[in-house]
Amino acid sequence: ARDAALSTLAFPFGGFRPGQRPLAEAVYKAASAGRCLMAQAPTGIGKTMGTLFPLLKAAPTQRLDKVFFLAAKTSGRQMALDALARLADSAPALPLRVLELVARDKSCEHPDKACHGESCPLAQGFYDRLPAARAAALQPLAGSERITLHQAQVRSAALAHQVCPYYLSQELARWADVVVGDYNYYFDMGGLLHGLAQANGWRTALLVDEAHNLVDRGRKMYTAELRPEGLAQARQSASASRYPAVKKALDKVRRAWVALDKQQAAAYAVHEAFPEDLLAALQLCGNTLTDHLAEHPAEPDAALQAFYFDALHLVRMAGLLDAHSLVDVTQPKAPSLPKAARAPGSSTLCIRNLVPAPFLAPRWEAAHTSTLFSATLQPQRYYTDLLGLPEDHLAIDVESPFQAAQLSVQVARHISTRYPDRKASLAPIVALMARQFGDRPGNYLAFFSSYEYLQQAAALLAERHPALPHWSQSRRMLESEQKQFLARFTESSEGIGFAVLGGAFAEGIDLPGRRLIGAFLATLGLPQVNPVNEQVKERMQALFGEGYDYTYLYPGLQKVVQAAGRVIRTPSDEGVVHLMDDRFGRPEVRALLPTWWAQSGR
Please report whether residue 396 would count as binding ligand SF4 according to CB under 6 A: no
Containing 348, the helix (H) or strand (E) segment is strand 348-353
Applying CB under 6 A, among 110, 262, 381, 413 the residue interacting with ligand SF4 is 110
CB contact set of 428 (below 8 Å; sequence gap of 6+): 412, 414, 415
Do 216 and 357 touch, CB atoms closer than 8 A?
Answer: no
Please report whether residue 164 would count as binding ligand SF4 according to CB under 6 A: yes
Residues 473-502 within binding reach of ligand SF4 (CB under 6 A): none
For residue 379, whether the previous peptide bond is cis, meaning omega lies within 30 degrees of 0, is yes
Q: Measured from the CB atom, is 110 or 418 closer to ligand SF4?
A: 110
The pair phi, psi for residue 26, each rounded to 5°, is: -65, -40
CA torsion through residues 30, 36, 40, 44, sign: positive
Applying CB under 6 A, among 113, 129, 271, 602 the residue interacting with ligand SF4 is 113
Stretch that binds ligand SF4, among 108-116, 240-248, 285-293, 393-401 (CB under 6 A): 108-116
Applying CB under 6 A, among 8, 34, 92, 104 the residue interacting with ligand SF4 is 104
Rounded to 10 degrees, the C-alpha dihedral 137/142/144/150 comes to -40
Q: Measured from the CB atom, is 122 or 432 closer to ligand SF4?
A: 122
Stretch that binds ligand SF4, among 162-170, 199-207, 520-528, 589-597 (CB under 6 A): 162-170
Interstrand relation of 97-100 and 147-149 (parallel, antiparallel or unpaired) = parallel
Q: Measured from the CB atom, is 249 or 303 closer to ligand SF4?
A: 303
Interface with ligand SF4 (CB under 6 A), residue total 12
Q: Measured from the CB atom, is 166 or 202 closer to ligand SF4?
A: 166
Interstrand relation of 178-182 and 97-100 (parallel, antiparallel or unpaired) = parallel
Q: Measured from the CB atom, is 167 or 505 closer to ligand SF4?
A: 167
Side chain identity at residue 336, one-letter code: S
Q: How far is CA 42 from CA 30, 379, 510, in A?
A: 19, 15, 13
Applying CB under 6 A, among 5, 115, 269, 302 the residue interacting with ligand SF4 is 115
Q: Measured from the CB atom, is 136 or 270 closer to ligand SF4?
A: 136
- 10 Å Cβ neighbour count for 460? 16
Please report whether residue 101 would count as binding ligand SF4 according to CB under 6 A: no
Q: Measured from the CB atom, is 184 or 408 closer to ligand SF4?
A: 184
Shortest Cβ 115–ligand SF4 spacing (Å): 3
Residues 118-157 within binding reach of ligand SF4 (CB under 6 A): 120, 122-123
What is the rounded distance in angstroms from the CA atom of residue 391 to the CA atom of residue 593? Answer: 26
Do 557 and 524 touch, CB atoms closer than 8 A?
Answer: yes
Q: Measured from the CB atom, is 108 or 208 closer to ligand SF4?
A: 108
What is the rounded distance in angstroms from the CA atom of residue 487 to the CA atom of residue 499? Answer: 14
Please report whether residue 108 would count as binding ligand SF4 according to CB under 6 A: yes
Strand segments, DSSP code E, in 124-263 are 147-149, 178-182, 204-208, 224-226
CA torsion through residues 447, 448, 450, 456, sign: negative
Stretch that binds ligand SF4, among 134-142, 160-168, 325-333, 556-564 (CB under 6 A): 160-168
Stretch that binds ligand SF4, among 64-72, 159-167, 538-546, 582-590 (CB under 6 A): 159-167
Applying CB under 6 A, among 16, 28, 68, 166 the residue interacting with ligand SF4 is 166
Stretch that binds ligand SF4, among 115-123, 215-223, 289-297, 364-372 (CB under 6 A): 115-123
Burial-class residue 152 by CB neighbours within 10 Å (0-12, 13-18, 19+): exposed
Please report whether residue 109 would count as binding ligand SF4 according to CB under 6 A: yes
Shortest Cβ 126–ligand SF4 spacing (Å): 8
The pair phi, psi for residue 226, each rounded to 5°, is: -120, 125
Shortest Cβ 164–ligand SF4 spacing (Å): 3
Binding site for ligand SF4 (CB under 6 A): 104, 108-110, 113, 115, 120, 122-123, 164, 166-167
